[in-house]
Amino acid sequence: MSNNKKKANKNFFKSPFFIFIIASLIATFILNSLLSFATAPLEKEIYYSDFINMIKNDEISSVTISSDKIIIKTKESVEAEQKFNEAVNGVTGFDDILEISKNFEFFQKKDIVLYTGYLNDGDLIKILTEHNIKFSRPVSESNFLFDIFLTILPFLIMYLFLALIMRKMSKKIGGGGGFMSVGQSNAKIYLENKTGVTFNDVAGQEEAKESLDEIVDFLHHPTKYTVIGAKQPKGALLVGPPGTGKTLLAKAVAGEANVPFFSLSGSDFVEMFVGVGASRVRDLFKQAAAKAPCIIFIDEIDAIGKSRDSQLGGNDEREQTLNQLLAEMDGFDSSKGVVILAATNRPEILDKALLRPGRFDRRIIVEKPDLKGREEILKVHIKNVKISDTVDLHEIALATSGAVGADLANMVNEAALRAVRLKRTEVMQEDLMEAVEIIIAGKEKKDRILSEREKKLVAYHEVGHALAAAKQKNTDPVQKITIVPRTMGALGYTMQMPEEEKYLMSKDEILSDLTVLLAGRAAEEVVFDTKTTGAANDIERATNLARAMISQYGMSDEFGMTSLESIENKYLDGRSVSNCSEETRTKLDNVVISTIKESYENAKNILTENIESLHKIAEYLLEKETITGKEFMSILNGVDDNVSEEEE
């Protein structure tokens, strides 16, 4: 027998399904025994001579003659059984139950079975016939093997059914071995360039590519590193927000490396049965050692690498899997050429033992791309798209500040779809700009009809934003104003585009942004003396920005350079967590409210001073519904020039 067959047999006898079947058989046998004991009649043995005397005294109703004994049924037991059946028939009241209980001892006689040993008595049949006693012999004896087969058959059918289901699931997942391969690793193996992705397909992450390219080079040419005494890094952790290209980078490594590349997700290790994940980790590293040099990539490693703690509700299976992973990463020899890559967007929850040098030696940050990076990413994604010569990718990159690679890929695809809808053969600049707006605010909702009053409110609201941006320093210029509703809930919006990429914000810039955000509500109050729900998102953003300015950036006179809040999950939702007492938090709330009020008053002052421009631009916007930044500035400058001439 081969080693694989021996291993399969060994796994079979250790499998939870085999244990389940054995346990079920034992439980069934015990249950049947207990039921047989509980329901069996009370047997009493008598002498054969007493049996003959009972026949002569007409005390016997019938006998059953088997191969080794004679079972006797007396007339008294038959009578008792008849009375019992009559007594219990139609019993409904409590008094009837008491009456039956009085005769309980008599009714017990119906369950007493007498028997005696069978003797080769040639006169027995004659005596039974003379006294009119019924006699018979069992047709067949019980077959023990047949009973066992009937007991096992249901479990055998269930086992075969589960085996068929698990085998089909295994094929769908892409694993091998079927039903008994539950403890084996189901990593996908990529060889050479089968992923179809190389470093040329990854843009905007030059530092990350440089670190990974060094690892690939180490695998290909280890000698030039070992000569100087350098050791190969055991592992590298890719960290960054969703959509920045962590998995794409790993696939690019697979494309660049001419070595086996094992790719799987952290959730692939976690199963219902405790110990299966640890078994899969062992099997994965065993396969990797056999194919070294190679690369192992674990995506979303936080699924198994979450920090261990002593809190209630811990996951034994996950912790066992993590412990096995830690042991394997410590145990393998990096000189053999096994490198581990992992990706996560939640590094703060990973176990400290997993992050220490010697396991993951490098932390590669895959951040949101900057202006140059976004432009390079756009170039990668438009390679297979027909575009017009007038397309300016630099302008698109400026308009997509904060977008990640996945967002930019989606924008290019949306632009191509729009060009097809408009029956064009190439993508224009307007298609790309419209795609940017679709990703930010959604598609135009043409079926939403606003009343004249609501439309006017929205127009003044949006012009209020634009006017506050134009009349202040340290603000981005207005690119577009529209009052066409969008599918994401916006009834209109004002789009600003930075003139250059900025990495820092001053206090003056933050205060100017607060004024711009609150200028929409200010326009409603200045012109219509009312307040609407349209400013809800503006107020939320302004409050968050003001709180961050005071609690995180140290820009308030009241608290100075004190950190009152910190950020958790900064690569995901960026939720802030308080670091101060309840009393200090109350003071913080008061300062935030005061800052918002000051910015709101400043916005109202700007609009009041430029009320003529506000009316002029709002009327034009109501007529056109959408105006560009150039049109906005042209009207604003024209009004300002007229005002200056009148003053002169």
Which of 377, 359, 324, 73 shows the shortest CA–CA distance to 200?
Answer: 377
DSSP, residue by residue, 505-525: --HHHHHHHHHHHHHHHHHII
- Collapsing DSSP states into helix, strand and coil, what is residue 493? strand
- Collapsing DSSP states into helix, strand and coil, what is residue 444? strand
Q: What's the DSSP call for residue 1?
A: -
- Collapsing DSSP states into helix, strand and coil, what is residue 341? strand
3-state secondary structure 169-234: HHHHHCCCCHHHCCCCCCCEEECCCCCCCCHHHCCCCHHHHHHHHHHHHHHHCCHHHHCCCCCCCC
Element spanning 64, H or E = strand 60-65
Q: Which residue has the tokens 């997942």?
A: 173
Compute the distance between CA of residue 581 and CA of residue 47 in angstroms, rounded to an integer.
Answer: 94
User: Cis bond leading into 347, ω under 30°?
Assistant: no
Catalytic residue flag (residue 206): no
Type of residue numbered 189: I
Compute the distance between CA of residue 165 and CA of residue 447 in angstroms, rounded to an integer.
Answer: 49
Q: Which residue has the tokens 């094992």?
A: 262
Type of residue numbered 639: V
Catalytic residue (choose from 462, 558, 619, 647): 462
Structural contact between residues 24 and 157, judged by C-beta atoms closer than 8 angstroms: no
Polymer length of the chain: 648
* Pairing of the two strands 235-239 and 626-628: unpaired
Residues marked as catalytic? 462
